[in-house]
Amino acid sequence: MVVNFRIAPGVAASVAALALAAAAPSVAETPASSGAPAIEGSSAPAAGAGAVSLPPTPTAWYADPGVGAAAPVSPDMLAKGTEDPAGWLHYGGGYRNFRYSPVSSLTPASVPHLHAAWSAPTGTTGQFEGSPIVYGGVMYLTTSYDRLFALDAKTGRFLWRYDVQLPDDLRLCCGPANRGVAIAGDHVFMATLDAHLIAFDRRTGRVAWNTTIANYKDGYSVTSAPLVVGGLVYTGVAGGEFGAPGFVDAYDIVTGKLAWRINTVPTDAADPAAKTWAGDSWKSGGSPAWTTGAYDAGTDTLFWTVGNPSPDWNGDKRAGDNLYSDSVLALDPHTGRMKWHFQFTPHDMWDYDGNTQLFLVDAMVGGKPVKAIAQPDRNGFFYLLDRSNGHFIRATQYVEQLTWAKGVDAQGRPIVDPTAAPQENPTARVCPSNLGGMNGSWSGAYDPKQGLVFAPSIEACQEYVKGIAVYVKGVPFMGGMPNTVDADAGKAYGLLSAIDVNTGQVKWRYRDPRPMMSGVVATAGGVLFTSTMEGEAIAVDQATGKRLWSFRMGGSGRGQPIVYQIDGKPYVAVPSGGWSSIDTLAGAGSMQPEGGHLFVFSLDP
């Protein structure tokens, strides 16, 4: 990702600067006899001369007594994922990251009759990338700038709310996103933009514990949903655009104490991985683990992906493969011990990361069943790996435009076109862009019945500029910048591609006039839900890619939709709200204003 870029010809902007100020929560009106949640306030700034003095602004509204199901969320419930359609308990739906709902009443015949059931505003600007969690009739929803809401999943009524009070000097690469919470027992867990992990009582909204993951001033933040397995909650960090060394952490869900940490770059010269970095360049090597992982119960393995090495676009001083950047790590969930790794883009010079969603699929390879990992990588290749040992099976092109590599060899190593490397004065148009392809900031989905992965992606190319790279802790460290030639020329567009995991071939593509930057959810009824940068929620036939239904939400689609069912009635929740800076970088900018809003649709019985 980038920190500085052109938002219009001749106009420069800084993502880090744009993301510094947290949106202020609105004042709550709470009648004493209303039975409304208890509130917690903070001091309001002093009023200037002649200004109206207002009460302190609340920052938390609690539910006393608690709301939602009395029974705690058990490990067995988490293991079953979306098997119970009344809930959505993981960012990826289940541990295998399918984002697939068993709800069967949403069919190509029925979805034209979908209607808006309720909606809820976030009150914040910035991209609304959250994926709701639903349990016991309560929806837990995060927003940009780390607001957390509990809402009635049937009606949208607000039940409790907590606004994290963020510092005004955050180190953010790519906007103030928060992609969701994890849930276990009687708590929900949220990571924050100032690199904290917070446990909340899921019934009241009160804080159970608050742990500092890292010093945000060193360049760290956390934007993605944590993952819970057993008694541990896992999270990784962002910070690759600041050279902040990456890691994955495990914390005790009861106490918040650190159980283990695995670093994604070497921490001393004796580490064998240090040999893949020239000199001591690993000390500022970035390689953030900023997306949500997956878990394989069969082998008791935690899978986590790793992002770009630092600096992004100038690899001169970090010659070598730069392990474990742009990799998937197979970890022992109890200790963090690495079982194996696979690197998608060695010595990444394009900011391709390795952080797009992992799908733990059962594939057929050469007529034999294989427990595999499928990943539509940001670099434009769709990978299939044996998840028992990391053995490379295949990589096929899933984007329409791919020029940075001529293919991959038998070991899965890209065959790089040397003319695609960043230059001080580039002339080569290189594809995909640094945003992808598919990107870890939005989700795909997998239909296990058809064996299809659905990957939303950007189709755009760039010129990659190599610049000066000087490392200062907590300061952007990128060594260049992409020229957004396709975005500036209006040539960027979007695809939603259905990819067969057994062959790696694209079965169908839905094309949108603007980049596809929203998540996806698939259903047993054969209908896929996503949203567009034009501000429409849409339904697509999973078998053909035909568009079946749409609803104009207004704001750009950047969030992760989910499907759940209560009292036999299906609900489809779709976030709406983009961030103009990143949207413009991708070639998807428009006059649409910012501001998050969740829309929930349903069918009448």
Coil, strand or helix: which one is 487? helix
Active site residues: 351
3 state SS for 533-556: CCCEEEEEECCCCCEEEEEECCCC
Residue that is written with structure tokens 């990826």 in the block: 92
Among residues 189, 228, 187, the alpha carbon closest in space to that of 211 is found at 189
Distance in angstroms (rounded) separating the CA atoms of residues 521 and 595? 23
Maximum CA extent, the chain: 79
Q: For residues 89 and 91, give the distance between their C-alpha atoms in angstroms, rounded to a whole number.
A: 7
The two structure tokens encoding residue 181: 């919470």
User: If residue 18 lies in a helix (H) or strand (E), which one and from where to where?
Assistant: helix 15-18
The residue type at 15: V
Using an 8 Å Cβ cutoff, are 173 and 241 in contact? yes
What is the C-alpha separation between 391 and 413, in angstroms, rounded? Answer: 12
Cis peptide before 311 (omega within 30 of 0): yes
Question: In angstroms, rounded to a whole number, what is the distance separating the alpha carbons of residues 133 and 150?
Answer: 10
**Tokens linked to 458:** 């950007």
Distant-in-sequence, close-in-space partners of 18: CB < 8 Å, separation ≥ 6: 175, 581
Closest CA to 397 of 455, 357, 350, 451: 455
For residues 555 and 576, the answer to whether their CB atoms sit within 8 Å is yes
Residues 528 and 520: beta-carbon distance below 8 Å: yes
Cβ-contact 346, 414 below 8 angstroms: yes
Residue 49 burial (10 A CB sphere; 0-12, 13-18, 19+): exposed
Residues 211 and 226: their CA atoms lie apart, in Å, by: 13
Distance CA 347, CA 276 (A): 9
Map tokens 């060193």 to a residue. Answer: 218
User: What values do phi and psi take at 196, rounded to 5?
Assistant: -115, 160
With CA atoms as reference, report the closest residue to 533 among 572, 488, 503, 578: 578
The pair of three-digit structure tokens given for residue 278, joined into one six-digit string: 């020239």
- What is the three-state SS of 279-325? CCHHHHCECCCCCCCEEECCCCEEEEECCCECCCCCCHHHCCCCCCC
